[in-house]
Amino acid sequence: MDEWIRQAEVWVRQAESWIRQQPPEQIYIAAAVVALTILLLIVASCFKSSKPNTIVLSGLSGSGKTTLFYQLRDGSSHQGTVTSMEENDDTFVLHSEQERKGKVKPVHVVDVPGHARLKPKLDEVLPKAAGVVFVVDAQDFLSSMQAAAEYLYDILTKATVVKKKVPVLIFCNKTDKVTAHSKEFIKKQLEKEINKLRESRNAISSADITDEVQLGVPGEAFSFSQCQNKVVVAEGAGMTGNVSAVEQFIREHVKA
């Protein structure tokens, strides 16, 4: 230890001697370079730490968002849940990764109730989102198709979603049921409904639209591939724990 201290003292004396031999201008330049480097490192560190890790669970009431939330966190459906009027908001390591070796980054998951009265909460969390999971009831899809398309349209046209290119996963839930519709059918029908909405809303005066970006390509039938952000469709079942598509989506956009 003493030898290391003596060596350090030698290096300090050598550095002091070298500095005294340099013109003042070079010392000022070197100090400025060091200060700028430190500043850039601080900015880079802040940028890295501010990268969003929030996943928003959205969709109509009864689609299975809360069950999905519990499966992701606890690996349990909690014997099914009733329609929630308050959001579930928690930061946790995904249940499927809890026994994984090494450091695993927790995920902040917000389950936003689907009731129309609580939609302002969605506007509050979307700017912080790393990704949005839009949950669709695949079993009861036809009766709720129009309402689901309207809700999804509102998300896809949010300026913050478009500008930040927030990825969206349309999760067709309850596909374990015999009467459930396929993800291909649901995707096609949602695109048709959103196309109708786009045409009707584009006819509204722009003065009546506050925070909305026009979807798709003018003159062409709408498809999710036209969105500026990535929109993918997957299927599963929250009640049975078949949520691997959601977990994969989360880890794609919130790195472990």
Percent over 90 (pLDDT), the chain: 55
Most confident listed range (21-25, 72-76, 102-106, 115-119) = 72-76
Domain regions of the chain by residue span: 1-47, 54-253
- Helix (H), strand (E) at residue 233: strand 231-235
pLDDT band for position 30 (cuts 50, 70, 90): low
Do strands 107-111 and 88-92 pair parallel, antiparallel, or not at all (unpaired)? antiparallel
**Is 60 exceeded by the pLDDT of residue 250?**
yes
Of the candidates 144, 145, 122, 134, the residue with the CA atom closest to the CA atom of residue 172: 134
Q: What superfamily would CATH give domain 54-253? A: P-loop containing nucleotide triphosphate hydrolases (3.40.50.300)
**Is 60 exceeded by the pLDDT of residue 67?**
yes
Q: What is the pTM of this model?
A: 0.76
Asked if 88 and 114 touch (Cβ cutoff 8 Å), the reply is: no
The two tokens of residue 243 are: 């949520």
**Is 60 exceeded by the pLDDT of residue 135?**
yes
pLDDT of residue 194: 95
Average pLDDT for 217-229: 91
Of the candidates 95, 71, 73, the residue with the CA atom closest to the CA atom of residue 171: 71
- pLDDT higher at 63 or 46: 63
**Is 70 exceeded by the pLDDT of residue 152?**
yes
Sign (positive or negative) of CA dihedral 107, 108, 111, 116 = negative
- pLDDT higher at 215 or 194: 194
Alpha carbon distance 97, 247 (integer Å): 10
